[in-house]
Amino acid sequence: MPVRDTRTMTYAGARLAVDAALAAAQEIGGAFNIAVTDPGGVLLAFARMDGAFALSCGIAIDKARTVVGFGGIPSADLYAGIESEEPVRFGIAKREGVAAFGGGVPVLIDGELVGAVGASGGSAEQDTAVATAGAAAVRDAYPATFPQ
């Protein structure tokens, strides 16, 4: 078949993700940058909390784009998959826009990748927790608030 039906996150879904990620960041007590992309890696929404590192903006975006660029693999899992393969690890590290460390998570609806959330500003574990809160908000709201 030359065409397939796919779903993608909307701006409304991206706003849900950002708001939930911001709430998680406030609970942690840090200042984070949060990026939400569609499944093609195009930025849908972005937030930079007061006091968040300016250079972390691009890192948050790269984390989300890394997730969708590698088919929905969380950015922390990507590193775990390549850490024992030195040539691959160093090769990926030199690729512009790839962030193979914690803080990027997929947004999955019924197993389909509809977007990703990336967070940067804390430890890899904190970044992952913030991004996961954003992704969970979209997943938990579907399909109740989003027509199919």
Check which CATH number belongs to the domain holding 33 and give it: 3.30.450.150
- In whole angstroms, what separates CA 60 from the centre of its chain? 7
Domain count, the chain: 1
Q: What are the helix (H) ranges across the chain?
A: 11-28, 56-69, 75-82, 86-93, 124-141
pLDDT at residue 23 in the model: 98
Distance from C-alpha of 89 to C-alpha of 79, rounded to nearest angstrom:
8
pLDDT at residue 106 in the model: 98
Query: Using 50, 70 and 90 to split pLDDT, how confident is the model at 142?
Result: confident
Q: Would the pLDDT of 144 be above 70?
A: no
Q: What are the helix (H) ranges across 83-147?
A: 86-93, 124-141
Is the model more confident about 96 or about 36?
A: 36
SS3 127: helix
Give the structural domain span for 26.
11-141
Q: Model pTM? A: 0.92
Q: Is residue 16 part of a domain?
A: yes
Q: Is residue 72 part of a domain?
A: yes
Q: Is residue 147 part of a domain?
A: no
| Whole-number Cα distances in Å, 86 to 9, 11, 81, 89, 93 | 35, 39, 11, 5, 10
pLDDT at residue 38 in the model: 98
- In whole angstroms, what separates CA 27 from the centre of its chain? 19
Q: Would the pLDDT of 95 be above 90?
A: no
Q: Is residue 3 part of a domain?
A: no
pLDDT at residue 120 in the model: 98
Query: Using 50, 70 and 90 to split pLDDT, how confident is the model at 86?
Result: confident
pLDDT at residue 53 in the model: 97
Q: Is residue 1 part of a domain?
A: no
